[in-house]
Amino acid sequence: MGSSVGILMDGYALRKAIQGYQVHESINIYREIAIAEEIPIVVFSVNGINLRRNTVRGYIPTGDGWESATAPIPRVIHKRVLYSTSPPLNVLSRLRSRGVVFVNPYLMQNKYAIYQLLACDAQVAPHLPATWVYSWRRLVRCLAMGHTMILKPMIGSVGRGVMRIAPRGKYSVELAGKHTRMMSYSHLRRYLHQQVQPRRFLLQQYLNLAKVNDNPFDLRVPVQRDETGEWTVPGMVAKISGVHPFLTNLAQGGAAIPGEAAIAAAFSPSVAADVRISIEPLAKNVAKAIARAYPSAADLGLDIGLDVEAKPWLIEVNSRDQRITFSEAGLHDTHKTLYRNPLMYCARLIKERT
């Protein structure tokens, strides 16, 4: 195994980034950190892995850019892509069997598995909205009790495939996704049968989120291991819904502002102070609970919603944090720190295994 830190990206995003286009991953920040800290890195996609030769074909940083190169398979790989199909997951499984350490582990992509794990933690469980694997019977039962529900993929990001379903009288529901529409229960059932695979979607309690200027928001709270191996919360950013009926993701038209600014706008000064104090311990408790099951977890993005009474709710844990929200909010130093921490932690792991 090689002594470089591997950074595994989506193939298309990597190609565009190398060509100079802006994508969700700012690979030039990796380059700056790697050169400054003298950490050898190689950035690659799953298609660049050659299991027979134990090599990866990717890119290494130079003083003025990136150079195409073939390198030994890194012994520590920072995984910055989500996979939901068997072929790439099988490749990662074979690498794991050879002793490769993944940060974050590819096995922790399933949001329901993470929910079940956290539901067993006494400090985190009170902050979890009710969540189930989707079934039509469960959905009907929740709607009959007057509950609005969120339907979302078990593996996914940036709000793709997320729907809100609300009861509207005895015979109708309101379905909000890209568009909002009314339909009967029978129409909804036919629609979901075409759109939703039962074992790959979750039902989750809809939260009445606090608002800024009448727009609901949630917080993206990164929690990462740094070069010391300890968990740290570099900052937080608020994602505020925009053109979408309920989603706050930037990819769905949301806006980003500093988290503390959103909290201050939504609550009184005394309540806002209590909220700020509560967020970091919750984030670290979540990270520690996950790390007990997945020891190489090190780079998590938590979506934490605040209800109108200022209670924090852990909406979900992202194993590929969308860091660009911090840049969009003007938090550029924090944005760079989000790249530095996991890279330094991966370098630490390599030294420990040398």
**Structural domain boundaries in the chain:** 2-103, 121-127+208-333, 131-205
| Multiple choice CATH, 2-103, 1.20.1250.20, 3.40.50.12780, 2.30.30.30, 3.40.50.20 | 3.40.50.20
Nearest to 236 by CA among 272, 206, 197, 289: 272
Where does residue 120 rank: exposed (0-12), middle (13-18), buried (19+ CB within 10 A)?
Answer: exposed
Of 75-84, 158-167, 331-340, the poorest mean pLDDT is in 158-167
Higher pLDDT pick, 106 / 28: 28
251 falls in which pLDDT band (50, 70, 90)?
A: low
d(CA 235, CA 330): 12
Residue 182: φ, ψ to 5°: -95, 145
Residue 228: φ, ψ to 5°: -85, -10
Residue range 5-29: average pLDDT? 94
d(CA 305, CA 238): 10
Structure confidence at residue 242 (pLDDT): 66
Residue range 230-240: average pLDDT? 95
Q: What is the CATH number of domain 121-127+208-333?
A: 3.30.470.20
Structure confidence at residue 55 (pLDDT): 97
d(CA 306, CA 349): 35
Residue range 300-325: average pLDDT? 93
